[in-house]
Amino acid sequence: MNHPPERSLSWGQALVLGATALPMVGFGGLGAWGTYSNITSVFHRSATALGVVAAGEGATLVLALTLVGLTMLGQSSPTAVRVGLWTLPAVASLTGAAVAPTGTESVVFAFTPMAMCVAAEGMGLLARRIVVYRTGVDAEAQRRNAAVMQKLAYHRARAANHPEKKARGKSDLKAWKLAKKVGTGDALLGAHLVGVQRERMTAGADAALAGMFALPVTAPAPAVTAAPEPPVVAPAQEEGVTFPVTVEDTQVTAESETVPAVPVTPVTPPVTPPVTLEEIAAVAGVPTPQPGEPLTDAQLVAVLRHLRYADDPPLSYRQAGTAFREGGFVGGEQRVRKAWGSLMSHEESDLS
């Protein structure tokens, strides 16, 4: 699958994103400083407070930096990193609530570590969006889709081949539930699907317009032959003129015999068999295209030429495309349309 070309951040975008990341780091640091002050006020030992901050906000910061680094490299983050970004601040919150001397202070102590948690998640999300914008690849979405497809393949196989009927039923139901999650959050997949639908709509509109604006083909009028001239009739003899009568004129000629009519069989020209796909492929110098096999551009043109002139009148683009699919030939809609355009160009050049 071809990915879109990489894009670079403009100067303004880099400035805004940098200004957005600075408050995240700053407020995360303020949350850590608040936790340090809270623990110091209870234990009155800075070393203990530093240990609590290091175990809570410090570890969360390490995981956040790991998440940002992996995201910038175009890799998905391990499950331990994603879980730790929420588990460690939660542990720090529970610790603060446990050591607080009063109920009111326990709420404050528990809420303070959330600053580092939100800052870490915000930095990770921002880094991920930057990578998706520049490269067009969302590693996290691909990781989720891969996990869903792996589970879907397992449950489909289990639903089809498991010996127990109950297990087959559970896997079949689970497979349908997993099917709803395929492609969720994958912007690249959505863009490709939109592109495919756009190509199909373009091909359909092109075929519809071609059918609307195509001129009707009329058969040529039969040639008109000149009628034979009538025979010239000799003028009648004038009165008073006597022609000599000979012996031959006095003889009575026998009545002419009637020749029976002979039935005439109409002569029809021999029917020329249509050119086969093998002959077209041989003329084009390409192997004979086979259904179900990938075809080259030249083979696509040969198949479309064969389908177009397999009937009289020649097939249109939509009819040839339908025959192409019904014949079991393999080819993308864009390649078929391009091959059809090449075939039409050759026809126009031959006519000119």
Range ranked top by mean pLDDT from 25-34, 180-189, 230-239: 25-34
What Rg, from alpha-carbon coordinates, does the chain have? 44
pLDDT of 90 above 80: yes
Report pLDDT for 253. Answer: 46
Q: Kindly state the DSSP code that residue 290 receives in the 8-state scheme.
A: -
pLDDT digits (tens, 9 = 90+) for 246-263: 444 444 444 445 555 555
Q: Coil, strand, or helix at residue 143?
A: helix
- Confidence band for 9, pLDDT divided at 50, 70 and 90: confident
Q: Which residues contact 3 (CB under 8 A, 6 or more apart)?
A: 135, 136, 137, 188
- Confidence band for 3, pLDDT divided at 50, 70 and 90: low
Report pLDDT for 229. Answer: 60
Report pLDDT for 174. Answer: 87
pLDDT of 272 above 70: no
| b/e 231-264 (16+ beta carbons within 10 angstroms → b) | eeeeeeeeeeeeeeeeeeeeeeeeeeeeeeeeee
pLDDT digits (tens, 9 = 90+) for 305-347: 888 888 778 888 888 888 888 888 888 888 888 888 888 888 7
Q: Report the alpha-carbon distance of residue 130 to residue 6 in Å, rounded.
A: 11
Task: Locate 89 and state its tokens.
Answer: 């601040």
**Lowest-confidence pick of 29-43, 56-70, 253-267, 337-351:** 253-267
Q: What is the DSSP string of 57-119?
A: IIHHHHHHHHHHHHHHTT-PPPHHHHHHHHHHHHHHHHHHHHH-SSHHHHHHHHHTTHHHHHH
pLDDT digits (tens, 9 = 90+) for 169-209: 888 888 888 887 777 766 666 666 666 767 777 777 777 77
Q: Report the alpha-carbon distance of residue 114 to residue 42 in Å, rounded.
A: 20
Say how many CA atoms lie within 13 Å of 152 toward its Cβ.
14
Distance of CA 49 to the CA centre of its chain: 57
Identify which of 286, 285, 284, 283 has the alpha carbon closest to the alpha carbon of residue 295. 286
Q: Which residues contact 344 (CB under 8 A, 6 or more apart)?
A: none
Q: Report the alpha-carbon distance of residue 118 to residue 60 in Å, rounded.
A: 10
Report pLDDT for 220. Answer: 55
pLDDT digits (tens, 9 = 90+) for 104-133: 888 888 888 888 778 888 887 888 788 878
pLDDT of 215 above 70: no
Contact 175, 161 (CB under 8 A): no
Mean pLDDT of the region 67-85? 82
**Lowest-confidence pick of 10-19, 116-125, 199-208, 269-278:** 269-278
Q: Report the alpha-carbon distance of residue 28 to residue 119 in Å, rounded.
A: 5
pLDDT greater at residue 225 or residue 40? 40
Q: Which residues contact 323 (CB under 8 A, 6 or more apart)?
A: 307, 310, 315
Identify which of 99, 147, 156, 120 has the alpha carbon closest to the alpha carbon of residue 32. 120
pLDDT digits (tens, 9 = 90+) for 133-178: 877 777 777 777 888 888 888 888 988 888 888 888 888 888 888 8
The count of other CB atoms within 10 Å of the CB of residue 10 is: 9
Q: Which residues contact 136 (CB under 8 A, 6 or more apart)?
A: 3, 4, 6, 188
Mean pLDDT of the region 33-60? 86
**Lowest-confidence pick of 2-11, 49-58, 70-79:** 2-11
Q: Report the alpha-carbon distance of residue 299 to residue 208 in Å, rounded.
A: 26
Contact 329, 303 (CB under 8 A): yes
Share of the chain above pLDDT 70, in %: 76
pLDDT of 18 above 70: yes
Query: Does the model's pTM come out above 0.75?
Result: no
Q: Coil, strand, or helix at residue 236?
A: coil
Instruction: Please state, rounded to an integer, the average pLDDT across all residues of the chain.
Output: 77
